Structure 1
Amino acid sequence: MAFTSIVLPQDYGYVLLAATSTYFVNFYHIVLTSSARKASGITYPAAYASNEQAEKDPKAYAFNCAQRAHANFSENVTPFLATLLVAGLRYPVVAGGMGIAWCVSRAVYAAGYTSKAGPKGRSVGAISSRLLDLGLAGMAIFTSYKLITA
Structure 2
Amino acid sequence: MATMTIAPDYGYVLLAATSTFIVNVLHMVNTSAYRKAAKIAYPAAYAPSSRTDAEAYRFNSAQRAHANYIENQVSMLGALFIAGLSYPRVAAGMGLGWSVCRWVYMKGYSEGQEGGKGRYKGIGFYLFQFGLIGMAAWTGVGTVLGW
Taking only the aligned residue pairs, the percentage that are identical comes to 50
Matched, 1:106 2:102: yes
1:123 alignment counterpart: 120
Matched, 1:96 2:102: no
Runs of 4+ in structure 1 deviating by more than 4 angstroms, as ranges, are none
Scaled by the length of structure 1, what TM-score is found? Answer: 0.92
Give the Cα–Cα distance (whole angstroms) in 1 for the partners of residues 90 and 121 of structure 2: 21
Give the Cα–Cα distance (whole angstroms) in 2 for the partners of residues 111 and 85 of structure 1: 27
1:76 alignment counterpart: 72
2:135 to 110, 124, 139: 139
Displacement of 1:117 after TM fit?
Answer: 2.6
Task: Please tell me whether the aligned partners of residues 61 and 112 of structure 2 are also in contact (alpha carbons under 8 angstroms).
Answer: no
Give the residue type in structure 1 aligned to 2:91.
A
Question: How many residue pairs are counted as aligned between the two chains?
Answer: 145
2:46 alignment counterpart: 48
Displacement of 1:6 after TM fit?
Answer: 3.8
2:61 alignment counterpart: 65
Q: Which runs of no fewer than 5 residues in structure 2 stay unpaired? A: none
Give the Cα–Cα distance (whole angstroms) in 2 for the partners of residues 72 and 148 of structure 1: 33
1:7 alignment counterpart: 5
Deviations 1:74-127 (A, max 9, x none): 00000000000000000000000000000000000000001243610110212x
Scaled by the length of structure 2, what TM-score is found? Answer: 0.94
Give the Cα–Cα distance (whole angstroms) in 2 for the partners of residues 49 and 25 of structure 1: 23
Give the Cα–Cα distance (whole angstroms) in 2 for the partners of residues 23 and 138 of structure 1: 23
Q: What SS does the aligned partner of 1:51 have?
A: coil
Task: Please tell me whether the aligned partners of residues 13 and 80 of structure 2 are also in contact (alpha carbons under 8 angstroms).
Answer: yes
Q: What SS does the aligned partner of 2:86 have?
A: coil
Give the Cα–Cα distance (whole angstroms) in 2 for the partners of residues 68 and 116 of structure 1: 11
Displacement of 1:134 after TM fit?
Answer: 1.1
